[in-house]
């Protein structure tokens, strides 16, 4: 279960900024997968970073009573001068323990499908290659909650299908919190919805109701 209490977030630039998210309060129950919808710039990726712990709120709290992945699809968090293999080995040591390191490396190398680039510095990777690596690395661990930021839109059609199947295999055993512009994939994987609008978050027990509210806000 993840509980968000009175959460505020903004990014501070030289000229200041308004709140990206302001006063969010909601709880994501155990075993309920959630589709996150909203306009570009509504704070969807920011919210995932906060839920994962990669970023910190300016005010409020995120309570995690479970193991939460980093946001799959963002492709960030890697050490650029290290190879893909070295990055995976480092993360495996932190999360998986020495006994499973080689198994984790083999899984990620196979899933990411980036060929010889796996042994090249991550700073030479394209955005898509970083995302593939992050996707495979996330799936190598048994998280209670998987965060996905447009992860199923990465790569060619075959890889997109592979990514979608991987998530479907985890529905039921784990929670998925997914940002996607494809309502089809959200309907396939999620039961409930979270609509971000003008800094606020609106929870809907039914995903379809969240999608309807979002479409009304953009005149569809």
Place of tokens 């979270």: 194
**What is the SS3 assignment for 106?**
helix
Q: How confident is the model at residue 220, as a pLDDT?
A: 74
- Mean pLDDT on 71-77: 68
Q: What CATH code is carried by the domain that includes residue 69?
A: 3.40.50.300
Chain segment 130-176, per-residue pLDDT in tens: 888 888 888 888 889 999 887 666 666 777 788 788 878 877 788 99
Element (H, E) at 200: strand 200-204
Structural domain that includes position 102? 2-217
Phi, psi of 17 (to 5 degrees): -165, 160
- pLDDT at residue 75 greater than cutoff 60: no
Contact call for residues 144 and 173 (beta carbons, < 8 A): no
**What would you measure as the largest C-alpha separation in the chain, in angstroms?**
54
In total, how many domains does the chain have?
1
Share of the chain above pLDDT 90, in %: 55
Chain segment 182-219, per-residue pLDDT in tens: 888 899 899 999 999 999 999 999 999 999 999 999 88
Contact call for residues 74 and 149 (beta carbons, < 8 A): yes
Q: In a 10 Å sphere around its CB, with 0-12 CB exposed, 13-18 middle and 19+ buried, how is residue 60 labelled? A: middle
Give Cα separations from 206 to 34, 37, 159, 209 (angstroms).
9, 13, 29, 6
């Amino acid at each position: 279960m993840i509980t968000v209490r009175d959460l505020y977030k903004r990014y501070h630039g030289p000229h200041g900024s308004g709140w990206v998210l302001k006063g969010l309060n909601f709880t994501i129950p155990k075993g309920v997968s959630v589709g996150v919808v909203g306009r570009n710039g509504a704070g969807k990726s920011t919210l995932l970073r906060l839920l994962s712990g990669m970023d910190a709120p300016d005010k409020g709290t995120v309570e995690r009573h479970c193991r939460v992945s980093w946001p799959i699809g963002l492709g960030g968090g890697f050490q650029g001068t290290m190879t893909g293999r070295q990055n995976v080995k480092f993360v495996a040591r932190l999360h998986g323990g020495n006994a499973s390191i080689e198994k984790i490396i083999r899984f990620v190398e196979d899933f990411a499908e980036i060929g010889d680039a796996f042994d090249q510095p991550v700073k030479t990777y394209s955005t898509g290659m970083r995302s593939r690596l992050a996707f495979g690395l996330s799936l190598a661990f048994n998280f209670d909650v998987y965060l996905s930021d447009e992860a199923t839109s990465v790569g060619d059609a075959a890889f997109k299908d592979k990514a979608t199947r991987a998530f479907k295999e985890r529905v039921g055993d784990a929670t998925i919190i997914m940002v996607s512009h494809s309502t089809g994939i959200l309907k396939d994987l999620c039961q409930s919805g979270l609509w971000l609008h003008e800094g606020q978050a609106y929870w809907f027990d039914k995903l379809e109701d969240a999608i309807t509210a979002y479409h009304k806000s953009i005149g569809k």
